[in-house]
Amino acid sequence: MTTARIPIIATLLLTLSLLSAAPQPGTSSADAQLARSINALAGADAAAEAAAARKILELGDAAVPSLATLTADGKSVAPRLIAVELLGRIGTPGAIGALLQVLPAEKNLAVRGQICIQLGYARDQRAVLLIADWLKRINPRALDDVPGPKEAQPSTCYIRHVEALAMIGDERAIPILEDFARKIPQGVGYGGFVSNFVAGAAAEALDDLKDRATFWNAVRKCPGLEQTIGPLFNHLRRDRLARFRLADDEIFRHTLRGKTILLSLQNHQDPAIAAAARQLLLRWDNLAI
């Protein structure tokens, strides 16, 4: 399940909360570039707007303080959702830290869901307990649909919390999700569709997490293997093009694509990553789930 995208033209709302459109004397070149990019978002040229958004992302940490302020303090949901997504796409420690700081107190369901998904993409294990705290405190019986856009409905918000835990892949989430799944009521919404939808998401997340746990338990039975393959999984998590960012799922599930990924990495320019891929290929059959 993927997050809904906000049309790029909506990012013109960032002009209300970010830097002024015209750079002032004495500002840094990064500030000036950010101001010019945001000013371009207000134009009628869709191509120019897309280019401006790319420039904001290219600035990286230079754009984080303004995006973080908008995420935490913005009064309109639409620009906050955009700011959250941009922080997730920037993906630096400062950007992810801003999302972690906002999440505990965030009450808007759509914004919470978007933050969770971005933290899931980042595979940041610091988010596990923050997400778990919300799942423990909120009554799953409040799953009934509410007026408003789908992304702001309780059931969608629950599912995004659950999906984020699955993407992060931390084994600590297994008992959290098991407890949550037990509390999901039967027969809520459209003849039980809503509760079944949430229960299905929780079951799928648990399956993924248990696959990972089984894989790592097999790895730990091979002395030294866990340390050897660590660089490979760190490499997959850091992949900014997202080609392999979630590819470790294929390895955990022992799929043909997982093996193909390892074959493509066994000659990687980083010797540690190449060695990790070769070691996993040597033990591929013994690590089957």
The whole-number pLDDT of residue 11 equals 41
Angstrom distance (rounded) from CA 275 to CA 251 = 16
Range with top average pLDDT, 8-22, 174-188, 197-211: 197-211
Per-residue confidence band for 174, with pLDDT thresholds at 50, 70 and 90? very high
Angstrom distance (rounded) from CA 85 to CA 151 = 14
Structure tokens, 145: 């649909």
Task: Please give the single-letter amino acid code of residue 186.
Answer: Q
The whole-number pLDDT of residue 95 equals 93
Question: What is the mean pLDDT of the segment spanning 157-177?
Answer: 89
The whole-number pLDDT of residue 46 equals 65
The whole-number pLDDT of residue 196 equals 79
Question: What is the mean pLDDT of the segment spanning 173-199?
Answer: 77
Handedness of CA 103, 107, 112, 115 (dihedral sign): negative
Task: Quickly count: other Cβ atoms within 10 Å of residue 134's Cβ.
Answer: 16
Q: Could you tell me the pTM of the whole model?
A: 0.74
Three-class DSSP category at 98: helix
Angstrom distance (rounded) from CA 249 to CA 257 = 10
* Closest to 135 in 3D by CA, of 99, 160, 152: 160
Task: Quickly count: other Cβ atoms within 10 Å of residue 257's Cβ.
Answer: 12
Per-residue confidence band for 275, with pLDDT thresholds at 50, 70 and 90? very high
Residue 213 predicted with pLDDT over 70: yes
